[in-house]
Amino acid sequence: MLFAISLKARKMSCLVLLLFVATASTFYVSGFDPDLEMDQIPDEEARAREYLDYLDEEFSKWATKSSLAEWAYASNITEENLAKKLAVSAEAAKFSKQQWLETIKYPWTTYKDPDLRRQFQKHSVLGYAALDADKHEKLEQLVSDMSSIYSKAKICDYKNPNKCDLSLEPELVEILRTSRDPDELKHVWVEWRKMSGEKCRGMFEHYVALSNEAATLNNFTDNAEYWLKDYESPDFRDQVARLWDQVRPLYLQLHAYVRRKLRETYGEKLVTARGPIPAHLLGNMWSQTWNNILDISTPYPDKEAVDVTPQMKKQGYTPVKMFRLAEEFFTSLNLSAMPQSFWERSILQKPEGRELICHASAWDFYDGKDFRIKQCTRTDMSHLFTAHHEMGHVQYFIQYRERPLVYKEGANPGFHEAVGDVMSLSVSTPKHLREIGLLEDDASAGEDYEATINYLYLQGLQKIVFLPYAYLTDLWRWDVFKGKITSENYNCEWWRLREKYQGIEPPVDRTEEDFDPGAKYHIIASVPYIRYFVSFVIQFQFHRALCEKAGQFDPNDPKKPLHECDIYRSTEAGNLLGKMLQMGSSRPWPDAMEVLTGQRDMDATGLLDYFSPLADWLERDNRESGEDIGWEPTEKRCVQTQEELGFEESDDDRRTEMQTDEPRSEEV
């Protein structure tokens, strides 16, 4: 078994410090002796099944213990909680290794029962516990330390340099969302990276080495291959590349349109007509979604955008009320309500007086009863959607709670995220927001073309824009683990990929003394990211199937477009979804995909169906404005050291003094 708790559902905050789902205390002697039991169980597969039952019972105990220790640390970052968490992980790892030595004695590859083989196959991978105790502890410590640096990072205020207590959430997120001062945005962008990623660079190098060593001990060539095993597809990277090829033309059209709107706002000097987009102007610390620049880029600005935040505040919404509303959505589908313990133990708003990992996350404690969400909830529309997303993860936990522990995960790592987002696709529709009383009734709803384009544009700034970022993040890490990208070119290769796939550039020149990948939580916390790319594609595949089941989408009926579908109160859709959720990972993911969609392959046509009106509009608007599609190479530089950058800047200054007014040769 991969003795790693499935972190797939913990959207932003599950650390790999729970990597080891062990199932008995270090001080226990295994309660199942295969040699003593051999004579008592004549049938070898029956004996193996009894051993699996023992493993499941014991592993579940340790999974619960590990999750509780991780929760305690993530919700209250102290040295004491860190020490407790690491101690639990060390015990789990030690037991995991002991039990693994018993597991591999079984000739499971010869068994006839496919479920038996599948469970043993999952148990046969030891995971990071394959490292010796000291190295395992070091790996845990490295990830903990990098995560702590990230979570505690603070910068000084641009307008008040003596005020140096600005955290990522909420202060920096809010500045990037609302400020239109490019100098302030550049300050926040640069300083955050100094206080987070740059401080993790040396630790990250050691983390890579130890992760690769653990992977080779598990008979994988490197940690990239270890991460990809859960997709159970030898050609998975090719599959993902094909998905990107399907959606890339739509991204290029959206990129061109946004670049023009930013150029109109900030001027040609800052945003050129044919170059990459400066990363600090896109409203997000990582430029992974661009919805925060809707106000300066919306296609039809005279058409009021859908924003139910004022109505939520008027109606007295609180974090608890938001999650109660999410719960009602699921029960309307004939899915499960949250247990009482969920409401008692979840953290639904940021507590005062302690440091915690604020990223929204859903937690399974592996006892079939304890499920929680940790979210620093704001009373606004975006967090209302996030509440539904996170509760989608919990619904997945609840639906597969009766499965053996090895199957308590999504069918592949992207499924969990996709299920969470499928809920948000319905909840975010104006139709649903009217249904729950947060939007006024409008007789012309669905017939207003301009409002439809604005709505799909906002969705595109979140869904389409995210795809290249999610793709390149693990393209970079896969090559790091494989040694194709070394510590000498971590940062420059990062920016090469960001330019190639996203068409963005840093606001200032960068060096290898910087470590911009480490300014992203998932990278320093060792959370694989390609799952999010997969989820952002297959969620539309899921959505289309559920909408057809609910009678809300008909490809041959223009009055039932996919983007207007809301599966709220459709027990038919809920029953179909529940059937897939209950499978967990008990079958290869194409089987689960087929149960829900009738297809066995990942496919982006659902996404393209959803956004087809926007795609047509963007192509026409870009053509009429004469906008170039794509981008020329950036003029920003990435070199080895700040000192080298200083020398180059001095040379540039001297060259500038000698230049005439003639244009550069590459200008047209």
Residues with catalytic annotation?
A: 390, 522
**Sequence-separated (6 or more) residues with CB below 8 Å from residue 489:** 512
Angle CA 17–18–24, to nearest 5: 130
- Residues paired with 638 in a beta bridge: 510
- Residues paired with 373 in a beta bridge: 362
Q: Between the CA of residue 548 and those of 544, 557, 630, what are the distances in Å?
A: 6, 12, 35
**Sequence-separated (6 or more) residues with CB below 8 Å from residue 597:** 541, 542, 544, 545
| Cβ neighbours, 10 Å, residue 582 | 17
Nearest Cα neighbor of 481 from 208, 204, 230, 130 is: 208
Between CA 66 and CA 23 the distance in angstroms is 10
Helix, strand or coil for residue 278?
Answer: strand
Residue 149 has, within 13 A of its CA and on its CB side, a CA count of: 24
Between CA 521 and CA 523 the distance in angstroms is 5
Between CA 20 and CA 91 the distance in angstroms is 9
| Cβ neighbours, 10 Å, residue 627 | 18
CA dihedral of 220, 393, 292, 148, whole degrees rounded to 10: -60
Tokens representing residue 555 in the block: 């490809």
Helix, strand or coil for residue 505?
Answer: strand
| Cβ neighbours, 10 Å, residue 99 | 25
The phi, psi pair for 368, rounded to 5°, reads 75, 5
Answer whether 365's CB lies under 8 Å from 68's CB: yes
Helix, strand or coil for residue 441?
Answer: coil
The phi, psi pair for 557, rounded to 5°, reads -120, 105
DSSP symbol at 129: G
The phi, psi pair for 202, rounded to 5°, reads -65, -40
Report the Cα 433 to chain-centroid distance in Å. 25
Between CA 605 and CA 165 the distance in angstroms is 46
Fill in the amino acid letter for 142.
L
Answer whether 452's CB lies under 8 Å from 303's CB: no
Angle of the 571-581 helix axis to the 589-597 helix axis, nearest 10: 170
- Determine how β-strand 361-364 pairs with β-strand 166-167: unpaired
